[in-house]
Structure 1
Amino acid sequence: MTALMNHSAFADIVTEEEEECLRSLTKLEVEDAEDIKSGCKVSFHFGPNRFFENTVITKDFHTVDYEATCESNEIKWKIDRSKIPKSDKITFFSWLEGNTTDHMDILDVIREDIWPNPIHYFAATEGEALEASSESSTEEDENELDADDSDE
């Protein structure tokens, strides 16, 4: 939950209520298909919470003949979601429970950024994590630190 919320893409789409839901997130898994280009499965594992009954919510993405599709398992809500104001803006749970390939950028952030680099986002300041730095910028940073140390 911390790593997700520290990524700027999620800070923009997670509502306050959804953030409270995500506090029960215990594990995130990304499973690539054998042919990585044909899709992946993202599983969100949750502990007991007051919002929904599911312990695992999955979203499966498939690409066949250059056409992307996705499926999510049904979220068994304990709360009345009809009272939540409708918005044109995508939110995390509307993306998670939707069976549309709109907003594939959310999947890309999870699969290509957060999943391989969770510590980077876990340690960042909330909503202000930059994209994972490249090796060359890390070397530059280390060189700057070495230069600072020699001045002392």
Structure 2
Amino acid sequence: MELQIGPVLQISVPRLVWKEAFFHISEGYERDLATHHCSKVKFRDKEQQEAIEHIDEVQNEIDRLNEQASEEILKVEQKYNKLRQPFFQKRSELIAKIPNFWVTTFVNHPQVSALLGEEDEEALHYLTRVEVTEFEDIKSGYRIDFYFDENPYFENKMLSKEFHLNESGDPSSKSSEIKWKSGKDLTKRSSQSQNKASRKRQHEEPESFFTWFTDHSDAGADELGEVIKDDIWPNPLQYYLVPDMDDEEGEGEEDDDDEEEEEGLEDIDEEGDEDEGEEDEDDDEGEEGEVGMTLAI
């Protein structure tokens, strides 16, 4: 969804959400800094000085409209978030009828699959539901919930991670504590297990997927959270339906084998025809020889 306000201002709503709080904070700081700098510069031309002051006044009006637009867009997004909820609920009910929907979706996603080891995939086979909830004022944060069936890895039925922006714009996150069963802590798996490549993984990562729940070092740059919220959650079906590349390659190899077999049969047929032709020629030569011998007698 993209709104255009006037001939200049264009704001993309999905990328706005909670991050737009950064815009207001940094914008005010930059404006004050620019005004302070301009007041200390001595312009030789009075006309230039007046022009700078008028530009600053106009810029203040533009900034005011930008803030107003952001607030109105947030209200629109809040409205449609509420309207989307029944459809998200209906979609979750339908997804529950498809075994291994979410693990397939994650494995097929290029960024998420890069974080999945073989044991991570096994654990995610017990994942039955995923939900993303944006807080009511949207820009303050969101929460991602994972629901699991009984499994051999941990006791939790649900794992959550929340992202927040405080009034000063500082990002933070918090998450559920994973209650690992004895000897099943995937975040402490051996380096040997870490290096096992999943068949769909492009490259290897040194950490388990589940380390994401305990990593709060840089909430403002949590790429996995953003991928789940902004890319997977709006339409997970597009990744579930990604063709299995291994199957396609297997089919291609089978087609090549079939073609080679057909070519081989054709070669055999051609060789057979050539042999028959040579035999016919030999027979003709033999008959001519017999006729010659008869005449000589």
Smaller-chain TM-score range?
A: 0.7 to 0.9
- 1:67-106 alignment to 2 at 5 Å? 67-80=170-183, 81=185, 84-85=189-190, 89-101=206-218, 104-106=222-224
- CA separation of 1:45 and 1:126: change in aligned 2, threshold 3 A: farther
Percent identity for Structure 1 against Structure 2: 36
Quote the residue 1:39 is aligned against.
141
Q: Within 5 Å, give how 1:1-152 maps onto structure 2.
A: 1-64=103-166, 65-80=168-183, 81=185, 84-85=189-190, 89-101=206-218, 104-125=222-243
Higher-helix-fraction structure? 2
**2-structure distance, mates of 1:34, 1:66:** 17
Alpha-carbon distance change, 123 to 33 in structure 1, aligned in 2, over 3 angstroms:
same
Instruction: Please give the secondary structure, in 2, of the residue aligned with 1:59.
Output: strand
Deviation for aligned residue 1:100: 3.2
Amino acid of the residue matched to residue 93 of structure 1? F
| Conserved 8 A contact 2:176-2:213 | no
Larger strand share, 1 or 2: 1
Alpha-carbon distance in structure 1 between the residues aligned to 2:104 and 2:128: 11
User: Given residue 89 of structure 1, which amino acid in structure 2 is its aligned partner?
Assistant: P
- Residue segments in structure 1 that go unaligned for 5+ positions in a row: 128-152
CA distance in 2, matches of 1:15, 1:79: 19
| Aligned equivalents of 1:44, 1:16: Cα separation in 2 | 19
How many aligned positions are there?
127
The answer on whether the counterparts of 1:43 and 1:56 sit within 8 Å (CA) in structure 2 is: yes
Deviation readout 1:94-132 (Å, 9 max, x if unpaired): 0123333355110111000000011101101358xxxxx
Equivalent residue for 1:134? none
Cα distance change of structure 1 residues 126 and 38 upon mapping to structure 2, 3 Å threshold: farther
Bigger Cα displacement from structure 2, 48-57 vs 74-83: 74-83
In structure 2, distance between residues paired with 1:55 and 1:38:
26
- Alpha-carbon separation, structure 2, partners of 1:40 and 1:83: 28
Q: Which has the greater radius of gyration? A: 2
Give, in angstroms, the shift of residue 83 of structure 1: 5.5
Q: Hey, what's the Cα distance between the residues in 2 that align with 1:93 and 1:78?
A: 14
- Relative contact order, higher structure (CA 8 A, sep 6+): 1
Compute the TM-score of the two structures, normalised by the length of structure 2. 0.40
Verify the 8 A CA contact 2:163 2:173 in the aligned structure 1. Answer: yes
Q: CA RMSD in A?
A: 2.1
